[in-house]
Structure 1
Amino acid sequence: MGFWTLFQVASMPTVQVIIVSLVGALMATQRFNLLSTVTRGSLNKIVFVAFTPSLVFACLAETVTFQDMISWWFMPVNIAITFLCGGILGWIAVKMVKPQPHIEGLVIAMCSTGNLGNILLLIIPAICTQKGSPFGEHDACKVSGLSYSSFSMALGCFFIWTYAYQLIRNSAVKLNAMKAAEDLLKKPNKDLDSNEKSQLLHNDGQSSSIKVDPENPTLVYQQLASKEEKRFSKSRLIETLNKLLEELLAPPTIGAIVGFIFGAVPWLKKLLIGDDAPLRVIQDSITLLGDGTLPCITLILGGNLIQGLRNASIGPLTITAIIIVRYLFLPAIGVGVIKAAGALGLLPPDPLFSFVLLLQFTVPPAMNISTMTQLFDVGQEECSVLTMWTYIIGAFALTGWSTVFMAILT
């Protein structure tokens, strides 16, 4: 497969995302006003509750079996490595570029959380059907590729809706603390003794107090965050368990769990999957719902982009840092990981499986991050700008690294 052919295959999914995002941006302009803030929020909740769980369930139930889950055991390990390395590199990037506190979690999420489903579902079958594909017969390659991609999507769903979800929620907490600090500085308590630079604010008769220094708002924010940390320290274990349960019960995660069950249990699978399945209409309906996931997320992303280009507080250094982490450091780490795993005999003999594992280190950030920022009302504009740039660069990065990966595997 020539370089330019591979370029067309690898860049097509990201070009599609950019085109649909531009449609969403046009719909959000004042001229059309079809994607207002309220409309985007409502549509985002529908994606979260109905579309994403349906997509994950439909892909898993149809293409993944119990034997596949056992033989592909290294894939969850590989995804965990991508999140671990991306999270560490993202943390380093945050310390170096020092973005605003409420988008630190967004930066780390962008560095660690790749698009482990939609992009692979588009790229892998396209590569399989290209003339001269190094992964064997077209039809067999496409079936295997869809299975690998669906399994990757489901596993990624678990990681995204636990790890990245927590990062974005923490960002929302920081943003709320910052707003509380600003309100504290603007409206000091007049009933308390004060001087020119500080006041003591008593919270509901409690003995704890916060020093309000108009010249140092960061100190106020730190005190509020510290106070909030102490307030929850006594019940940290219980709260952590409650949060974990809440995240595991998120609709996309439930969709993945149920999809695993139906894919692994043959008699359940026969109820839904196949031309003679008695409940095939249910699977068809779920698939129809799932097909709306990517277009809706991308339209919301484009709608956020209009406001983000005007109001986003994101600097070029932050954008550059994320691009370097996602498209330089992580793919290089991936090559080392997969080469080592192959040498130790941890991977199936199918080179397409290794290719999918390598792409998991190289894909652009997950679009579900946009859904999370919308849910928690934090960093939507910044997320749109970051997604735009990472997907534009991703069209070229995926092409170059795909060429390298195929050369390594063949």
Structure 2
Amino acid sequence: MKLLDLFIVAFIPVLKVLLLTALGLFLALDRVDILGKEARKHLNNVAFFVFNPALVASSLAKYITLKSISLLWFMPFNVLLTFIIGSALGWILLKITKAPSDLWGLVLGCCAAGNLGNLPLIIIPAVCKERGSPFGDAHTCYNQGMAYSALSMAIGAIYMWSYVYNIMRICSNKRSEGAKPDDFTESAKPAVETAENLSNSHLGSLLPLKSSSPREDHLDHLELDQANISEGKPKVPLLEKIKQFFQTFAMKTNLRKLFAPSTIGAVVGFLVGSIPQVRKVLIGDSASLRVVEDSASLLGDAAIPTVTIIMGANLLKGLKGSKIHLTLMIGILVIRYIALPIVGVVIVKLAIHLGLVKSNPLYQFVLLLQFALPPAVKSVISHEASY
């Protein structure tokens, strides 16, 4: 294949993303004001709660089977490596640039997750449909590529909310805990302790009751302590301990974010695709309930352009000025475009050498692509307040 033809095949998917992003930026301009702040918020809610889950569920149900899951087992591990290595490199960047603490979560999210999500569903089909595609027959390439992209997107959605979101939440909590007292509002400051307040609150609890004497109080406390020692500490039933453990885990993990709509859509897609009886009823031209899958696919098709347009509209704020230093932005670009792709080549080549990855060029290309996606966090993370 000539070098120019290869460049065109690689450039066309990128050009599609750039055109949609430019459209979103244009619609967000103050003179146009179609995608203003409130419009973006509402459109993002629709994409987050409806379009993305429908896309994940329909893609997995259509292209993933129990056999394909067993063959593609390395992909979840590969995505996890991109997140771990990316966050480690992001942490090193934070230490080198000494970035402010309020940017730690954003930088770690950009370096760890990047734009792993819908982009493979744009890039892979576009590459397969090009005349000079290096992956053979367009129809076979499209079907296999959609299966790989759907699985990559589903795994990315699960890791996004179980890994990246919690990193950003932990960094945000540390920032709140380290805030200075002057940062809080006057309503949060403790009230001034007047003589009347002291007499009513603090001193009242220190004085003994009029109906009792200090001797009687000490005797009562001694009798209570002896009674507690004699009775011993009550035993907590095993079921109660398990219940307390799960309650503590739920409070610390924030399960509502963990089971985001995209994650639920991934679970539904896996179940439909991997259970033959359910798949026969929902998937295929002869399926009795194929209208359900067709409706989900129709909604899912709107996810890719919608999310890309929102991403372009959000760029308007960055063009007007940002407090992020240039060195920090350059560092993120270096991590996502240079360091991670090099690490990805080493990991994928090593996996091929060890026989962990099958000799399918398209599958290997998707694995490499997961290390080389742009440094952007999905718009749902940027608008997490809407959830």
Quick check: TM above 0.5? yes
Band the TM-score falls in, shorter-chain normalisation: 0.7 to 0.9
Separation in 1, partners of 2:117, 2:5? 23
TM-score by length of 1: 0.75
Using the TM superposition, give the Cα deviation of residue 27 of structure 1 relative to its aligned residue in structure 2, in angstroms: 2.2
| Counterpart pick for 2:341 among 328, 331, 334 | 331
Cα distance between partner residues in 2 of 1:320 and 1:65: 41
For 1:222, the equivalent position in structure 2 comes to: none
Partner of 1:382: none
Check if 1:372 corresponds to 2:373. Answer: no
Structure 1 residue 312 corresponds to structure 2 residue 322: yes
Q: CA deviation at 1:122?
A: 2.3
Q: Which of 264, 267, 278 lines up with 1:257 in the alignment? A: 267
Letter of the 1:361 partner, please give it: F
Task: From the superposition, tell whether residues 184 and 141 of structure 1 become closer, same or farther in structure 2 (CA, over 3 Å).
Answer: closer
Report deviation, 1:184. 3.4
Distance 1:170 1:15, change over 3 A: farther
- Alpha-carbon distance, 1:21 to partner: 2.5
2:34 partner SS = coil
Q: Hey, what does 2:86 align to over in structure 1?
A: 86
Amino acid at match of 1:363: L
- Could you tell me how far 1:57 is from its partner in structure 2? 0.5
Structure 2 segments unaligned to the other structure (5+ residues)? 195-200, 203-243
Give, as a single letter, the amino acid of the residue that structure 1 aligns with 2:24: G
SS of 1:347 mapped into structure 2: coil
Q: Is the 8 A contact 1:102 1:174 kept in 2?
A: no
Residue 122 of structure 1 aligns with an amino acid whose one-letter code is: I
* Residue in structure 2 matched with residue 358 of structure 1 by the alignment: 368
* Counterpart for residue 105 of structure 1: 105
State how far apart, in whole Å, the 1-side matches of 2:17 and 2:129 are.
Answer: 21
In structure 2, the residue matched to 1:47 is 47
Name the CA distance, whole Å, in 2 between partners of 1:58 and 1:352.
21
Q: Deviations over 1:275-300 (max 9, x none)?
A: 12111111111111112222222222
Answer yes or no: is the 8 Å Cα contact 2:110–2:377 preserved in 1: no
- Structure of greater relative contact order (alpha carbons < 8 Å, 6+ residues apart): 2
Please say if residues 61 and 270 of structure 2, whose CA atoms lie closer than 8 Å, have aligned partners that are also in contact.
yes
Structure 1 residue corresponding to 2:258, chosen from 229, 240, 248: 248
Match among 296, 302, 305 for residue 312 of structure 2: 302
2:27/2:33 contact within 8 Å kept: yes
> Any idea what the Cα deviations from partners look like across 1:8-59, whole Å, max 9, x if unmatched?
3323333333322332223223323222222222221221111110010010
In structure 2, what is the equivalent of residue 381 of structure 1? none
Match of 1:322 among 328, 332, 339: 332
The residue aligned with 1:271 is 281
- Measured after TM superposition, the shift of residue 181 of structure 1 is 4.6
- Once the two structures are overlaid, the 10-residue window that deviates more, 68-77 or 111-120, is 111-120
8 Å CA contact retained: 1:114, 1:360: no
Q: Which has the larger radius of gyration?
A: 2
Name stretches of at least 5 consecutive residues in structure 1 with no aligned partner: 194-203, 206-234, 378-410
Take 2:301 and 2:181, find their aligned partners in 1: how far apart are those partners? Answer: 43
* Counterparts in 2 of 1:60 and 1:316: CA distance versus 1, 3 Å: same
Instruction: Provide the rounded CA distance (Å) in 2 between the counterparts of 1:178 and 1:17.
Output: 40
Shift of the 190–248 alpha-carbon distance from structure 1 to 2, 3 Å rule, reads closer
Among residues 340, 351, 356, which one is paired with 1:341 in the alignment? 351
Deviation at 1:131, TM superposition (A): 3.9
* Separation in structure 1 between the aligned mates of residue 346 and residue 115 of structure 2, nearest angstrom: 21
Q: Percent identity of the aligned residues?
A: 39
- The residue type paired with residue 2 of structure 1 is K
Partner of 1:383: none
CA distance in 2, matches of 1:360, 1:117: 9
Q: Which amino acid aligns with 2:192?
A: D
Change (3 A) 1:179 1:7: farther
Give how far 1:182 is off.
Answer: 4.8
Q: AA paired with 2:331?
A: A
Equivalent residue for 1:289? 299
User: Which one-letter code corresponds to 2:310 in the other structure?
Assistant: I
Q: Deviations over 1:282-331 (max 9, x none)?
A: 11111111122222222222332222322421111111111111111111
- Say if 1:186 and 1:179 are closer, same or farther in 2 by CA, change over 3 A: farther
Q: What's the counterpart of residue 162 of structure 2?
A: 162
CA gap 1:146/1:185 in 2 versus in 1, 3 angstroms = closer
Which amino acid in structure 2 is aligned with residue 287 of structure 1? S
CA distance in 2, matches of 1:46, 1:239: 32
How far 1:238 moved relative to its partner?
4.6
Check whether the contact 1:57–1:258 (CA below 8 A) recurs between aligned residues.
yes
Tell me how far apart the structure 2 counterparts of residues 238 and 274 of structure 1 sit (CA, whole Å): 42
SS of equivalent residue, structure 2 residue 375? coil
Distance 1:21 1:351, change over 3 A: closer
Check if 1:76 corresponds to 2:85.
no
Is the Cα–Cα contact under 8 Å of residues 13 and 127 in structure 2 kept in the other structure? no
> TM-score, structure 2 length as denominator?
0.79
Q: What is the DSSP-based 3-state SS (H/G/I as helix, E as strand, rest coil) of the residue aligned with 2:383?
A: helix
Shift of 1:248: 3.3
Counterparts of 1:351 and 1:29 in 2: how far apart (Å)?
42
**Taking structure 1 as reference, are residues 16 and 352 closer, same or farther at Cα in structure 2, changes over 3 Å only?**
closer
1:185: how far off?
8.1
Q: Work out the CA distance in 2 between the residues paired with 1:374 and 1:182.
A: 28
Moved more, 338-347 or 123-132: 123-132
Kindly tell me: are residues 301 and 117 of structure 1, through their superposed partners in 2, closer, same or farther at Cα, counting changes over 3 Å?
A: closer
